[in-house]
Structure formats: structure tokens, C-alpha cells
Structure 1
Amino acid sequence: MIKHVHINGDITYADAPWRFEAGTPNIIGIIGLGQLWNILLNLVWIRLLHMKIA
């Protein structure tokens, strides 16, 4: 990955291991994982509440 491009055309590359990363981060996957985590936490809380009530 490129860290910086100078106006005169010089390129500064990032240090390893970031140098070898390609593309953009999976933002949609990160958001989806966060939503899944919220759903699972809610299911656990609902189950715990039902166990306390019963």
C-alpha cells in the first residue's frame, strides 16, 4: 500500500505488513458483525429474563 505520494512523483510505501494489504477494508462486514453481536446479546438477555421469570 502507498503511504504518501509527493507532488514531484516520489512514492513513499507503507511499512510491512501494511505494505502488502490490498483494497479497502470490509466496512459492510464490520457493520454486519456489529449488528449480529447486538442480536445475539438481545437473545441472551431475553433467555435470561425468561429463566428468571419461570
Structure 2
Amino acid sequence: MGNTATWTGQVTIPAADGELRLLMVEDERLYADGMAEQAEATISRIVYAVSVTV
């Protein structure tokens, strides 16, 4: 805890008649031993999501 990360980037917004929203999702990968037949399986879960009207 206590780590801060800043991400920047460009998103091309297509022309549209209605409202558009940009969805940003952060997920993390976890080891899932015993949850699958593979010895070292991984799963992911969403830890943060936000929707922004553009």
C-alpha cells in the first residue's frame, strides 16, 4: 500500500450522435493454485473501475 502510479495516454473518440462514455478498468492477476487443472493457474479480478462521460 502507499504506492502511487500515474498513467497517461491518448484515446481516439469516434464521431457519434449520442452520449459516449470511456470506461477505465484496473485488474490484478492472482495465482489460483488448486482452482484449475494446471499447476500454476492465474485468475484476474477487477480492483477499480470508473466511467467518464466524454
TM range (shorter): under 0.3
Q: For the pair shown, which has the larger CA radius of gyration, 1 or 2?
A: 1
Greater fraction of residues in strand: 2
Q: Give the structure with the higher percent helix.
A: 1
TM-score (norm: length of structure 1): 0.20
Which structure's relative contact order is higher, taking Cα pairs within 8 Å and 6+ residues apart? 2
**TM-score with structure 2 length normalisation?**
0.20
